[in-house]
């Protein structure tokens, strides 16, 4: 059950949508349009809403035009220095240059975010917007999520923040005042959550129908592409990883990898797990499932044949492993990710 901390009253809730140069325009504008669209979708509700529940404002360090990461300008309506109180703050997705976030560039925003939290505001991030929020220190020890492509960079920059990139939406804090959404389009889930929390489930359903938005009920595991870490400095293990990336489907791949490494079995397994974060057999399984995902997306080959091609003679085991790893059965995954025939995609193998 949703337990809101702020209820809409006679006045709409004030939503501050933070714009910085690294922000992604599609996320910022998408959130703005959906949360600002109750005049259009309220007719779908019975009875209709009497007044808009949210008042959105694009805010930043300075007012005026601001060019975002994709070189599209937006108009910052007010500097945060002029905003004494707000109910909800949302930091949209940001682009990280060279996969790094440089802290300390927006001290005024960080100070304002802390003050907004102290005055009762809910702090929200879409995707990589959590990088800016984490600078406040308020997320230390608080569960959060981030785009899986930025997860390692986030962990290195903010090691005190527990981050779960496979989770769609994480709501944390004693009064549920911290809300983060995961990869890219999970801003849909963030917006629908905020609408359901503060306006009601019926309103959220109406908005979802009007905009064809969807909750990512199956989590983000199906979307994550496995790429074993190789920047760990253990050259013997890197060499084995390179071999496994091509030969994961052979019989007894772990035993062959041990032989090729020239290490004792116990030493190999210890060093491999320390370097990659995965036990050797789990690493092989991830590689096999990743190849199976590509085959399901790009071919019409039967599932059992795909399982055999990636290294599993036991079709039932392959199906169980695939679902355990991705959260979907192979057939569900194919239905979700295969390019539809009407899209006229490339010819399938």
Looking at residue 262, which CATH number applies to its domain? Answer: 1.10.10.60
- Residues 255, 173 share a domain: no
Q: What integer best gives the mean pLDDT of the chain? A: 90
pLDDT number for residue 73: 93
- Residues 192, 102 share a domain: yes
- Residues 245, 144 share a domain: no
- Residues 284, 181 share a domain: no
Q: Give all strands (DSSP E) within the chain, no chain letters.
A: 13-18, 54-60, 64-67, 73-76, 78-79, 88-91, 122-126, 169-172, 178-181
Measure Cα distances from 138 to 79, 141, 180, 313 in Å: 22, 8, 13, 50
| CATH classification at residue 113 | 3.40.50.880
* Contact between residue 27 and residue 188 where contact means Cβ atoms under 8 Å apart: no
Q: Is the peptide bond before 345 cis (omega within 30 degrees of 0)?
A: no
Q: CA 219, CA 168: separation in Å to the nearest integer? A: 5
Give the global pTM.
0.81
Q: What share of the chain is helix, strand, coil (3-state, %, to 5)?
A: 45, 15, 40
- Residues 313, 173 share a domain: no
pLDDT number for residue 326: 93
- Residues 64, 26 share a domain: yes
Residue 282 in any domain: the answer is yes
- Residues 187, 60 share a domain: yes
By CB atoms closer than 10 A (0-12, 13-18, 19+), residue 124 is: buried
Place of tokens 């192979």: 330
Residue 146 in any domain: the answer is yes
Q: Would the CA dihedral through 238, 243, 244, 246 be positive or negative?
A: positive
Q: List alpha helices for 64-167, DSSP H.
A: 107-118, 130-134, 151-157
What is the domain range of residue 97? 13-211
Residue 19 in any domain: the answer is yes
- Residues 119, 30 share a domain: yes
pLDDT number for residue 4: 43
- Residues 162, 280 share a domain: no
Residue 100 in any domain: the answer is yes
Residue 218 in any domain: the answer is no
**Backbone phi, then psi, for 332, in 5-degree steps?**
-65, -40
pLDDT number for residue 309: 96
Residue 286 in any domain: the answer is yes
- Residues 136, 71 share a domain: yes
Provide the terminal-to-terminal Cα distance of the chain, rounded to the nearest Å. 47
Residue 252 in any domain: the answer is yes
Place of tokens 């933070």: 18
Q: CA 296, CA 126: separation in Å to the nearest integer? A: 30
Q: CA 166, CA 151: separation in Å to the nearest integer? A: 10
- Residues 113, 18 share a domain: yes
pLDDT number for residue 39: 54
Q: Would the CA dihedral through 317, 323, 328, 333 be positive or negative?
A: negative
Secondary structure of 193-231 in HEC code, one letter for each residue: HHHHHHCCHHHHHHHHHHHCCCCCCCCCCCCCCCCCCCC
* Secondary structure (DSSP) of 131-159: HHHHTTSTTTTS-B---GGGHHHHHHH-T
Q: pLDDT (tens digit, 9 = 90+) per residue, 226-272?
A: 888 888 989 999 999 999 999 999 999 999 999 999 999 999 999 99
Q: CA 73, CA 68: separation in Å to the nearest integer? A: 6
Domains in the chain: how many in total?
2
Residue 220 in any domain: the answer is no
Low-confidence ranges of the chain (pLDDT < 50): 1-8, 43, 46, 346
């Amino acid at each position: 059950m949703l337990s809101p901390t702020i209820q809409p009253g006679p006045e709409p809730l004030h939503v501050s949508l933070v714009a910085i140069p690294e922000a992604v325009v599609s996320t910022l504008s998408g959130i703005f349009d959906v949360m600002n669209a109750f005049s259009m979708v309220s007719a779908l509700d019975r009875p209709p809403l009497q007044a808009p529940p949210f008042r959105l404002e694009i805010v930043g360090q300075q007012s005026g035009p601001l060019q975002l990461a994709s070189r599209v300008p937006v108009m910052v309506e007010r500097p945060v220095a002029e905003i004494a109180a707000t109910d909800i703050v949302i930091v949209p997705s940001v682009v990280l240059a060279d996969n790094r976030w440089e802290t300390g560039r927006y001290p005024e925003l960080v100070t304002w975010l802390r003050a907004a939290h102290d005055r009762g505001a809910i702090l929200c991030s879409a995707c990589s917007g959590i990088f800016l929020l984490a600078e406040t220190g308020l997320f230390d020890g608080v569960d959060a999520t981030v785009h899986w492509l930025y997860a390692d960079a986030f962990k290195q920059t903010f090691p005190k923040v527990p981050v779960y990139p496979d989770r769609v939406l994480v709501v944390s804090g004693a009064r549920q005042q911290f809300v983060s959404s995961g990869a890219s389009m999970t801003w849909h889930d963030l917006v629908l959550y905020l609408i359901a929390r503060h306006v009601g489930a019926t309103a959220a359903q109406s908005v979802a129908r009007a905009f064809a938005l969807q909750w990512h009920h199956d989590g983000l595991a199906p979307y994550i592409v496995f790429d074993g870490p190789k920047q760990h400095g253990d050259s013997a293990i890197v060499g084995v990883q390179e071999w496994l990336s091509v030969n994961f489907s052979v019989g007894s791949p772990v035993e062959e990898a041990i032989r090729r490494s020239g290490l004792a079995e116990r030493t190999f397994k210890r060093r491999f797990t320390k370097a990659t974060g995965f036990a050797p057999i789990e690493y092989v399984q991830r590689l096999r499932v990743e190849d199976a995902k590509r085959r399901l997306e790009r071919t019409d080959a039967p599932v059992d044949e795909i399982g055999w091609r990636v290294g599993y003679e036991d079709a039932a085991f392959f199906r169980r492993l695939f679902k355990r790893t991705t959260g979907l059965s192979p057939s569900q995954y194919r239905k979700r990710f295969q390019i539809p025939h009407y899209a006229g995609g490339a010819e399938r193998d």
